[in-house]
Amino acid sequence: MTFRLAIVGRPNVGKSTLFNRLVGRKLALVDDQPGVTRDLREGQARLGPLRFTVIDSAGLEDANDDSLQGRMRRLTERAVEEADVCLFLIDARQGVTPTDEVFADILRRKNAHVILAANKAEGKAGEGGWIEAFGLGLGEPIRLSGEHGEGMEDLLGVLMPLAEEFEAEDRNTAEQAPETDVDLGWSGEETEEDEEAPSEDWRPTERRPLQIAVVGRPNAGKSTLINRIIGEERLLTGPEAGITRDAISIPTTWEGTPVRVFDTAGMRKRARITDKLEKLSVSDGLRAVRFAEVVVVLLDAETPFEQQDLRIADLAEREGRAVVVAVNKWDLVPDREARLQALKEAFERLLPQLRGAPLVTVSARTGRGLDRLHAAIVKAHEVWNRRVSTAQLNRWLLGMTEAHPPPAPGGRRIKMRYMTQVKTRPPAFVVMSTHPEDVPASYERYLVNGLRNAFDLDGTPIRLVLRDSGSKNPFKGRKAKQPTALDKHLKG
């Protein structure tokens, strides 16, 4: 049985620290300044025998307008309504504040299962705040320390009866459901066929969704685009630049394809990043790029291909990810045909290492172009996983070297004898050659471009390694055998 637990409370009461403790990893950004968390982050928690979904939320602010704080509050209130259990945290060292009292009253009305916990309650410093928490009328508060792991047994003791209650409700629902003889497909359990499935099967499934990271400069529309893809206002958006801080991953099914989409913080030039929290946010986004399979570099149609856009795209290529370039806010562009031609020319000129990568125009606000973006991502993922047979490669290599023979530095003709693909994701090839250290970079580019054209590998990073295949004397380096007395006698 699994259930959803939402952690809520004022800013800086330790929600993200407790979230990281429950999931067993440092997924959420943590800092001393209040208001670090803005979006909802979900994770799979483990607490004793319990397995459940835990939700880290933004700090509850006393704001009901359309300001950033007001939008954050509405997002948190929605998480409270959708959760099965709400864990309301207060800061035991500060005690109960008037804001805590207001939100305690809200939680009583919104969620049937509210657990009150006094966090940062280690030592005598938190004793007074823990006693004050009794006055909120939410039952006996739990003394917790998310940072040091204290009070986890008490939290388990409160959650266990609720988990059993949810499990009983599920059993009753299943017993009352009508019988059916319709095959409902996958049951969610592994079968022998699943276990024997070949590892080369790279196609996305529910258990292995396609990992997509959306990256770009601040205010390019990354969160708005992801909200449009998943079909709900799941991520915080607005006119302010730099709203997103954490790299949030959201599983969904997009036009029949199981995907997990990562929203990342906007990446500015390194020289402009002076705030510690922004450095943590950018590092979190870079980690999402390394975990992704396809990276969508989102550009602003009004200012495309700025220096930072080029750096971000180059980073994705160096990390070996499949890259799709999407130009957002296309609905605001006047002369679209001429503008698109100019974008394509700039793309080929400024990013030659991504030659052939798809360039898609979209509007995250209206949803136009999302079907083309989906098709481009699926195609880029397929190319990223493509494998070419050794026989095809060697026939191709023979034709390439006959059409344009390798150079002969110092009068020594370089011979390329054999080629094979050693891995995918991205495609990597090894060429066995004589004098590989003398092969110029221009000839390597000639081979890489030939691979793209011959095997439809446009847009994906290609790794080409040259290794020495020269004939070696097997006895080179061995010590000469010393003659025995018999050898000397026979020779004499």
According to the annotation, is 275 in a ligand binding site? no
* 394 among annotated binding-site residues: no
Tell whether residue 57 is among the known ligand binding residues.
yes
Our CA angle for 353, 358, 359, nearest 5°, is: 100
Please check if 357 is assigned to a binding site.
no
Instruction: Specify the DSSP class assigned to residue 220.
Output: S
Q: Is 137 marked as binding a ligand?
A: no
Are 90 and 7 in contact by the 8 Å Cβ rule? The answer is no
Nearest to 257 by CA among 317, 209, 316: 209
Residue 96 annotated as part of some ligand binding site: no
Peptide bond into 426 cis (omega under 30): yes
- 220 carries a ligand binding annotation: yes
Q: Which amino acid is at 412?
A: R
301 among annotated binding-site residues: no
218 is in an annotated binding site: yes
Inter-residue contact 356 to 322 (CB < 8 Å)? no
Residue 329 labeled ligand binder: yes
119 marked ligand binding residue: yes
The annotation status of 15 as a binding-site residue, yes or no, is yes
Q: Which amino acid is at 463?
A: R
Answer yes or no: is 227 a known binding residue.
Answer: no
Confirm or deny that 221 is annotated as ligand binding: yes
Query: Annotation-wise, does 95 bind a ligand?
Result: no
487 is in an annotated binding site: no
- 331 appears as a binding residue in the annotation: yes
Binding residue per annotation — 223? Answer: yes
Is 14 annotated to bind a ligand? Reply is yes
Q: Residue 219 annotated as binding? A: yes
381 — phi, psi (to 5°)?
-65, -40
Number of Cβ within 10 Å of residue 329's Cβ equals: 21
- Sheet of 41-47: strands edge to edge? 41-47, 50-56, 4-9, 85-91, 114-119, 142-143
Residues facing 297 on adjacent strands: 215, 325
Question: Which strands sit side by side in the sheet containing 257-263, from one edge to the other?
Answer: 248-254, 257-263, 210-216, 294-300, 322-328, 359-361
Residue 439, annotated as binding a ligand: no
Q: Is 346 annotated as a binding residue?
A: no
Order of all β-strands in the sheet with 463-468: 416-423, 428-433, 463-468
Q: Is 356 annotated as a binding residue?
A: no
C-alpha distances in angstroms, 276 versus 246, 281, 283? 14, 9, 11
Tell me, what amino acid is at 395? R
Return the number of other C-beta atoms located less than 10 Å from residue 28's C-beta: 22
Q: Is 385 annotated as a binding residue?
A: no
59 annotated ligand binder = yes
24 is in an annotated binding site: no
Q: Does 185 appear as a known binding residue?
A: no
Question: 26: annotated binding-site residue?
Answer: no
Is 492 one of the annotated binding-site residues?
Answer: no
Q: Does 58 count as an annotated binding residue?
A: yes
Q: Find out whether 121 is annotated in a ligand binding site.
A: yes
- The answer to whether the beta carbons of residues 457 and 383 sit under 8 Å apart is yes
Q: How many CB atoms lie within 10 A of CB 359?
A: 22
Q: Is 481 annotated as a binding residue?
A: no
Reading the block at residue 170, the tokens are 């599920």
User: Which residue numbers belong to the known binding site for GTP?
Assistant: 9-16, 56-60, 119-122, 216-223, 263-267, 328-331
User: Which residue numbers belong to the known binding site?
Assistant: 9-16, 56-60, 119-122, 216-223, 263-267, 328-331
